[in-house]
Amino acid sequence: MSISIKQALTEGQQFISQSDTAALDAELILLHALNAHRNILFTDPDKRLTQDEYALYQTLLQRRENGEPVAYIIGEQGFWDLMLNVAPHTLIPRADTESLIDWVLEQNVQPKRILDLGTGTGAIALALAKEFPGAQVIGVDLIPQAVELANSNKAKNNINNVQFFQSSWFENVPQEPFDLIVSNPPYIDERDEHLSQGDVRFEPASALIASQQGLSDLYLIARQAQEYLTQQGCLLMEHGWQQAQHVSDYLKQQGYVKVASGRDLAGQWRFSFGFKAQR
């Protein structure tokens, strides 16, 4: 006996009911199994799944039941107004990070050169490149596969004013000053209990964990960035919600001015920034 789209959604939601977003998860997984647009859920809910489609749907649901993130299961994730390919060697882009893009746009400036450190999927670099088409944007990552993935997302979203290449932070970055340096580096303490919970269990530890209670990469970037900033250029970094005071204090120690922090949509302190002092 075949099963309809409507019935498959109900069955899937019940199967992965432990997920906080079971209904949405089932919907995304079913659409992926059908290789269909979301419209079909409303225009043809009684359409019957083929045997192969149903078998694939069940296999993918089992992966979600085992805790694997939906983004890895279907191979893509929305960020800003982009759709990005994702893979297990990079972090999954999150809505919290969109707060950094919001903040940049609120400044009413037109940066000419932008650097994204630890670009991963290319999410931040691509979003900023799209918002500032006149800017030259560079995104770097330590992992060659991440650079390849970011380039695939560049092509997928038809954004041409961005360049991706391999670099351990600033190691291979040309010393031509940037108006904006932005980063979402590893910032989780290796002892954090959340590392063994939820989707994060499947994400690469190298992109999550940093020493010094999660602060080491944030501090390294803060120390080195001034050599790569224009006069009054800005360094903007994402961090954990409990790290804002530590990061702000360190930016001030390093001589940054107009240092402050910003909140994400959930109201948590999500990022801090500082500007290079005029000389």
Domain residue ranges of the chain, discontinuous segments joined by +: 5-66, 76-275
The helix-helix angle for 51-65 and 22-34 (nearest 10°) equals 140
The three-state secondary structure class of 86 is coil
User: Does domain 5-66 correspond to CATH entry 1.10.8?
Assistant: yes
Q: How far separated are the first and last CA of the chain, in Å rounded?
A: 76
Q: In angstroms, how far is CA 65 from the centroid of its own chain? A: 23
Q: In angstroms, how far is CA 159 from the centroid of its own chain? A: 17
The three-state secondary structure class of 235 is strand
Query: What confidence score (pLDDT) does residue 196 get?
Result: 47
**Confidence grade of residue 207 (pLDDT, cut at 50, 70, 90):** low
Query: What confidence score (pLDDT) does residue 44 get?
Result: 87
For 35-84, the pLDDT digits (tens) are 888 899 889 889 999 999 999 999 999 999 988 889 999 999 999 999 99
d(CA 4, CA 10): 10
> Which residue in the block uniquely carries the two structure tokens 């303490």?
189
Per the CATH hierarchy, to which homologous superfamily does domain 76-275 belong? Vaccinia Virus protein VP39 (3.40.50.150)
Q: What is the DSSP letter of 189?
A: -
Sign, CA torsion 56/57/62/64: positive
pTM of the model: 0.87
